[in-house]
Amino acid sequence: MPISGSPGRYSPVAQGFHWIIAGLIVTQFTLAWMADDLPLGMHKLALLTRHKSFGMTVLMLAVLRLSWRLFNRPPELPAGMSRIERILAKATHVAFYVLLFAMPLTGWLMSSAKNYSVSWFGRFTWPNLIGPDEGWFVALRIIHALLSWLLLSLAILHILAALKHHFWNKDDVLKRMLPFTKSEERT
């Protein structure tokens, strides 16, 4: 299979990054919200430890994805899209790339400020980025939560846009991001 995909489709590499990271983001929200509802204790800490490991996995994948993306252009958007739709689509994608770094980094900084270690599935421990500082911990905790709401809102907008393309516009925008499908080249 060609690594760049056909001209009107996202390549298998782009699709792989997209769906693995999207799955991890869902996992992150699930773990964080489950932990939120629990009192301080072993169960909460275990969920947050896993949240931190998966979150650092997102950071590693984000580095690989962005590096790969800088050298591989995505397919063009369908010709019929208005200027405002194009701007919104591009701005959402850029914001996603920024958040794929900002979410893990604020989490990592927050844990460092509290002097809580960040392990990667018990295999190794990431170094602390800053020294203990309660003020920074409180600020970073708020920033991490605010950014998560921004990410969630953009994801809802993004999913609604993908569904609108598929069911309303009846174009290939969703299909060309889906593995194991064929799209007509209507870019």
Q: Determine which residue in the list 47, 113, 140, 173 makes contact with ligand HEM, applying CB under 6 A.
A: 173
Comparison of 5 and 110: residue with beta carbon closer to ligand HEM: 110
Q: Report d(CA 134, CA 121) in Å as an integer.
A: 26
Do residues 175 and 187 touch, judged by C-beta distance below 8 A?
Answer: no
Under rule CB under 6 A, residue 5 binds ligand HEM: no
Query: Scanning the structure block, which residue is given the tokens 């993004």?
Result: 158
Q: Determine which residue in the list 15, 148, 171, 183 makes contact with ligand HEM, applying CB under 6 A.
A: 148
Tally the C-alpha atoms within 13 A of residue 10's C-alpha that lie toward its C-beta: 21
Q: State the minimum distance, in angstroms, from the CB of residue 170 to ligand HEM.
A: 14
Q: Report d(CA 111, CA 52) in Å as an integer.
A: 9
Under rule CB under 6 A, residue 58 binds ligand HEM: yes
Under rule CB under 6 A, residue 15 binds ligand HEM: no
Dihedral sign of CA atoms 89, 91, 97, 102 in order: negative
Q: Determine which residue in the list 5, 15, 47, 108 makes contact with ligand HEM, applying CB under 6 A.
A: 108
Under rule CB under 6 A, residue 104 binds ligand HEM: yes
The first and second tokens of residue 75, run together, are 């397919």
Do residues 147 and 102 touch, judged by C-beta distance below 8 A?
Answer: yes
Find all residues with CB under 8 Å of 180, minimum gap 6, and list them. Answer: none
Under rule CB under 6 A, residue 69 binds ligand HEM: yes
Under rule CB under 6 A, residue 47 binds ligand HEM: no
The first and second tokens of residue 148, run together, are 């998560």
Which positions lie near ligand HEM, rule CB under 6 A?
A: 18, 21-22, 25, 28-29, 32, 36, 48, 51-52, 55-56, 58, 69, 74, 77, 89, 93, 96-97, 103-104, 107-108, 110-111, 118, 141, 144-145, 148, 151, 155, 158-159, 162, 173-174, 176-177
